């Protein structure tokens, strides 16, 4: 079982341009031999659709082609959703130029790596230059930009660590951006939360109150018309599979129970904190993390925390980025256990280890992720299964919460 992460690529306006799928196992191997281009493309498109990104969404799929064998595949289909990143030994292949022509004929695009083998023979057919910022100084990046001053295509910056670097590459004229920068809060000195954010944080505090009666919960939810609508819409979606339509919050409480409705009201409120495309990606990650940690807690005998607590850990792990506010400030007044809050703020405890494991998975540091999973007695294969299940679940839930 693979552990598959969908890694977004953003445009200059911070909307999502496309995705690259990253796995803990090489895509080129199917356990028998080298996979065909047909199987690679169709397989990744199917996985991307399962993770909530279909062909009608207008998002690109970035695939790395590092084997010369794939360039000779005569398979033909519409490739308008595909961007082929030709890298490794494939760049020097004589078949590279013909592959680029065929990709363009079928609506696809071709990318080369700035630091990869010379692609002079296919440079005039290249649409995108991919520039990894890992280990590079600002002067290095400026030098690369000058090198491609006459390049008529577009530049993709990857491994962007923070928002400052994002703004720097944007100012240099880069078009696409990838990296862990978008999960970091954009904290501006003296900036205050918007009134809408303040009201939603207050909702989260009230929903988390240990003592909350039925009438009080109904009042809390009814105080936000948008929240009431979205909760009812979500409960009436296929996710719950209810036979009869729920028409009121009171009816929902009677049917689902107080604690269950509080749980889903909290989830819906969290996903509503930032309605931008960047915020939607963060909301997806929050749901995916929550479901993964909850499922993991159910499979690890040594785990001392309940699935419900682990769900909250994953859900709130994106709160600072969703609010563009320091985590310590964002959590003020929200009734969570002290050690859970400390873990969310980066403490060296079991909760903090779980979040560090998640971050390692998302950046593709499989050695660190597996080390942390093994420390707590987790089976890596089962963890991969839970991660994929959680990713698919998050992709299904998010559209119902909008």
CB atoms within 10 A of CB 318: 27
Q: What is the DSSP letter of 34?
A: B
pLDDT bracket for residue 322 (50, 70, 90): very high
pLDDT bracket for residue 310 (50, 70, 90): very high
Its CATH architecture, for the domain 197-401, is Orthogonal Bundle (1.10)
pLDDT bracket for residue 31 (50, 70, 90): very low
Q: What pLDDT does residue 315 have? A: 94
Q: What pLDDT does residue 1 have? A: 66
324 dihedral zone (left: phi>0; alpha: psi -120 to 50; beta) = left
Taking only Cα atoms into account, the Rg of the chain, rounded to an integer number of angstroms, comes to 23
Q: What pLDDT does residue 290 have? A: 94
As a three-state string, the secondary structure of 265-308 is HHHHHHHCCCCCHHHHHHHHHHHHHHHHHHHHHHHCCCCCCCHH
Cα–Cα distance for residue pair 360/378, rounded to 1 Å? 15
- According to DSSP, the residues that pair with 21 across neighbouring strands are 6
For residue 171, what is the enclosing H or E element?
helix 163-171
Which has more pLDDT, 39 or 6? 6
Cα–Cα distance for residue pair 174/159, rounded to 1 Å? 13
Indicate the average pLDDT of the chain. 88
Q: Which of 34-38, 152-156, 161-165, 260-264 has the lowest mean pLDDT?
A: 34-38
Please report how many Cα atoms fall inside a 13 Å half-sphere around the Cα of residue 9, on the Cβ side: 22
Residue in this structure with the two tokens 């690529």, named with its chain if needed: 9
Q: Decide if 126 contacts 111 (C-beta within 8 A).
A: yes
Cα–Cα distance for residue pair 332/63, rounded to 1 Å? 42
pLDDT bracket for residue 28 (50, 70, 90): low
User: What residue segments make up the domains of the chain, in order of their start?
Assistant: 4-183, 197-401
Cα–Cα distance for residue pair 220/204, rounded to 1 Å? 10
Residue in this structure with the two tokens 């390692």, named with its chain if needed: 360
Q: Decide if 142 contacts 136 (C-beta within 8 A).
A: no
Summarize the confidence of residues 145-169 as an average pLDDT.
95
Q: Decide if 386 contacts 299 (C-beta within 8 A).
A: yes
Q: Which CATH superfamily is domain 4-183 in?
A: EAL domain (3.20.20.450)
Non-local CB neighbours of 218 within 8 Å, separated by 6+ positions = 249, 250, 253
Residue in this structure with the two tokens 């969290």, named with its chain if needed: 270
Which among 48, 47, 86, 44 has a CA at the least distance from the CA of 69?
86
Summarize the confidence of residues 110-131 as an average pLDDT.
87
Q: How many helices (H) and strands (E) does the chain have?
A: 18, 8
Which has more pLDDT, 300 or 71? 71
Q: How does pLDDT run across 76-95, given as a tens digit for each residue?
A: 678 899 999 998 888 888 88
């Amino acid at each position: 079982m693979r552990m598959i992460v969908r890694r977004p690529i953003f445009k200059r306006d911070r909307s999502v341009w496309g995705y690259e799928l990253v796995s803990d196992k090489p895509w080129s191997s199917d356990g028998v031999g080298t996979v065909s281009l047909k199987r690679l493309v169709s397989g990744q498109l199917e996985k991307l659709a399962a993770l909530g990104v279909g062909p009608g969404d207008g998002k690109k799929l970035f695939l790395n082609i590092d084997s010369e064998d794939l360039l000779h595949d005569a398979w033909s289909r519409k490739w308008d959703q595909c961007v082929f990143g030709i890298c490794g030994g494939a760049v020097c292949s004589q078949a590279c130029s013909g592959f680029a022509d065929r990709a363009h004929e079928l609506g696809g695009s071709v990318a080369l790596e700035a630091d990869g083998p010379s692609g002079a023979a296919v440079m005039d057919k290249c649409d995108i230059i991919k520039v990894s910022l890992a280990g590079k100084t600002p002067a290095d990046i400026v030098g690369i930009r000058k090198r491609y001053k006459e390049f008529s295509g577009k530049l993709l910056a990857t491994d962007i660590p923070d928002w400052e670097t994002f703004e720097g590459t944007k100012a240099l004229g880069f078009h696409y951006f990838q990296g862990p920068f978008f999960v970091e809060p954009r904290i501006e000195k003296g900036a205050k939360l918007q009134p809408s954010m303040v009201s939603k944080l207050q909702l989260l505090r009230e929903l988390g109150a240990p003592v909350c009666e039925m009438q009080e919960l109904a009042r809390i939810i009814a105080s936000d018309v948008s929240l009431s609508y979205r909760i009812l819409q979500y409960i009436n979606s296929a996710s719950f599979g209810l036979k009869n339509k729920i028409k009121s919050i009171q009816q929902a409480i009677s049917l689902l129970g107080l604690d269950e409705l509080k749980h889903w009201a909290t989830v819906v409120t969290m996903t509503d904190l930032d309605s931008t495309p960047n915020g939607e990606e963060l909301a997806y990650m929050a749901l995916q993390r929550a479901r993964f940690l909850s499922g993991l807690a159910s499979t690890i005998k040594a785990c001392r925390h309940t699935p419900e607590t682990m769900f909250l850990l994953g859900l709130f792990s994106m709160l600072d980025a969703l609010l563009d506010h320091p985590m310590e400030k964002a959590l003020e007044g929200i009734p969570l256990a002290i050690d859970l809050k400390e873990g969310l703020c980066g403490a060296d405890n079991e909760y903090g280890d779980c979040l560090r494991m998640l971050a390692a998975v998302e950046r593709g540091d499989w050695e660190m992720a597996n080390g942390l999973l093994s420390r707590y007695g987790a089976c890596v294969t089962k963890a991969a299964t839970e991660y994929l299940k959680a990713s698919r679940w998050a992709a299904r839930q998010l559209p119902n919460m909008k």
